[in-house]
Amino acid sequence: MRQTIRFLRRGKIVEVGNVDPMTTLLDHLRLNEGATGTKEGCGEGDCGACTVAIGRARHGKVVYEPVNACIQLLGMVDGAEVVAVEDLAEETELHPVQAAMVEKHGSQCGFCTPGFVMSIFSLYQGTDGAVGRDEINNAIAGNLCRCTGYRPIVEAALSVCASPRDDKFRKATEDTAGILNFIADDSDIFIGDDKRFFAAPASIDALAALYARHPDATIVAGATDVGLWITKQLRDLPKIIHIGRVRGLDGVEDTGREILIGAAATYARVEPFMRAIDPDLGELFRRIGSKQVRASGTVGGNVANGSPIGDTPPALIALGASMELRRGDRPRVMPVEDFYIEYGKQNRASGEFVTGLLVPKLRPDQIFRCYKVTKRFDQDISAVMGAFRFTVDAEGRIQEARIAYGGMAGTPKRAKRAETALHGASIRDTAAWAKAFDALREDFTPLDDHRASASYRAETAHALLGKALIEAAGTPSSRTRLTGQREAIVHAAE
């Protein structure tokens, strides 16, 4: 068992002991290292001013991803390289990304600039060849410029990503990967005592045993939600168990009939598998948080969190997904929809944790649609999330309808009355649609809150079901959508 955190900084291995479980990476950089180029803005992973790049060894090379240092716990970077804005330049020579920002005047007040630089740096490292404007906009969607300086920032990214990638990080990638493989050992990490600790087990058995002894501990995967408990709610979390080091728990596998998702698999890793199931799923995942959030946050954590406005549970419920849990040495499997009992209460025993998800792929006779409605397009929480799967026979009759919503009740929930109204009807039978719309109003009694009124939610749920049925009946999404059109997404993929 190891009692320190080890990571790579500026080519040197850093080993830190006596880590408080709630210490964030941002606090370590600014307060312990004096690396104050990384800024604190919102403190909740929204503005991107604190963006740094985390490098991990994969297939003999280093993959850099942007993360929000303000909600990334220090213990979570064990075995990784941490790159902050001060690390890019070589003595007096700016990194190509920094030089492009200077040349294109990509800064006004300057506070947000380090975060933009690090997001573009991650894009620069993760691509080869020219990058388009849409990809750049997606890369910086998690960075806010309060001076509205986006045009020169995007021009800087277009410029630097049009050139061959040539920097010290690319040149040293194999050597860096070797160092990271060396420090990322198979030891269980436990720092502290039984009253206050940060732990990162290396195996599923060690995780089960530790959580059985400390069922009051907080399990953390990506900390994109738990981080806010610390920075915004100011909660004291004396016992934290990080599952990111558990061997195999970050895996994603396509078995042919279903996708197996480990509880520690990030949105970024899962996204291409979901996009392969259906374009709408890929677009849903692209709009979850930002690049920084998707690089850290996990699908398993989104499900286990139990939020009524989580993005993935309605889609998983509509697909008929199941989840795996474990308590001690006893595993069990249940449908995702059965996990949610009521607001803030899940079907999970003390000491039991989520180990993975099983997501069925669509059959040829199944049609899937999902829609996320938010106040702003990028990086926002759903007001209403609707997901629909229709199983249609050769005659065009609906043999099964699975309709699930988020934001309409205290938990993600199926619209079973609306499903029944559609069962056996032709997919083009508008009289059956009308019955389903009426039944939908009986399925839910949404609440008013700061994101949306109850009447808005009810009308939006009605409209989303109508859109799903219209598209399932054969109307192209180019006629039903202003953005996220399925035909364009499929064409781009081809």
pTM of the entire predicted model: 0.95
pLDDT by residue (tens digit) across 397-408? 999 999 999 999
Categorise residue 83: left if φ over 0, alpha if ψ from -120 to 50, beta otherwise.
beta
Crossing angle of helices 267-277 and 279-286, rounded to 10°: 160
Q: What pLDDT is recorded for position 367?
A: 98
Q: What pLDDT is recorded for position 379?
A: 86
| CB of 421 closer than 8 Å to CB of 398 | no
Measured between alpha carbons, how far is 416 from 413 in angstroms, rounded to an integer? Answer: 9
Measured between alpha carbons, how far is 213 from 442 in angstroms, rounded to an integer? Answer: 44
Buried b (16+ CB within 10 A) or exposed e, 379-392: bebbbbbbbbbbbb
User: What Cα–Cα distance (Å) separates residue 462 from each residue in 440, 441, 443?
Assistant: 7, 8, 11
Res. 493: pLDDT tops 70:
no
pLDDT band at 17 (very low <50, low <70, confident <90, very high): very high
pLDDT by residue (tens digit) across 177-214? 999 999 989 999 999 999 999 999 999 999 999 999 99
What DSSP string describes 313-349? HHHHHHHT-EEEEEETTEEEEEEGGGGEEETTEES--
User: What Cα–Cα distance (Å) separates residue 76 from each residue in 183, 198, 363?
Assistant: 14, 10, 39
Burial of residue 423 (number of CB atoms within 10 Å: 0-12, 13-18, 19+): middle
Categorise residue 361: left if φ over 0, alpha if ψ from -120 to 50, beta otherwise.
beta
Instruction: Please state which architecture CATH assigns to domain 366-493.
Output: 2-Layer Sandwich (3.30)
Res. 302: pLDDT tops 80:
yes
pLDDT band at 491 (very low <50, low <70, confident <90, very high): low
Between 3.40.640.10, 2.40.50.140, 1.10.150.120, 1.10.260.40, what CATH number should domain 96-166 receive?
1.10.150.120
Enter the DSSP assignment of 86. G
pLDDT by residue (tens digit) across 310-364? 999 999 999 999 999 999 999 999 999 999 999 989 999 999 999 999 999 999 9
Q: What are the boundaries of each domain within the chain?
A: 96-166, 366-493
Q: Same topology for domains 96-166 and 366-493, yes or no?
A: no
Measured between alpha carbons, how far is 292 from 295 in angstroms, rounded to an integer? Answer: 5
> Which amino acid belongs to residue 271?
E
Measured between alpha carbons, how far is 219 from 239 in angstroms, rounded to an integer? Answer: 9
What DSSP string describes 209-227? HHHHH-TTSEEESS-TTHH
Categorise residue 45: left if φ over 0, alpha if ψ from -120 to 50, beta otherwise.
left
Measured between alpha carbons, how far is 141 from 138 in angstroms, rounded to an integer? Answer: 5
Half-sphere exposure of 100 (CA within 13 A, CB side): 21
Res. 224: pLDDT tops 90:
yes
Res. 494: pLDDT tops 90:
no
pLDDT by residue (tens digit) across 267-294? 999 999 999 999 999 999 999 999 999 9
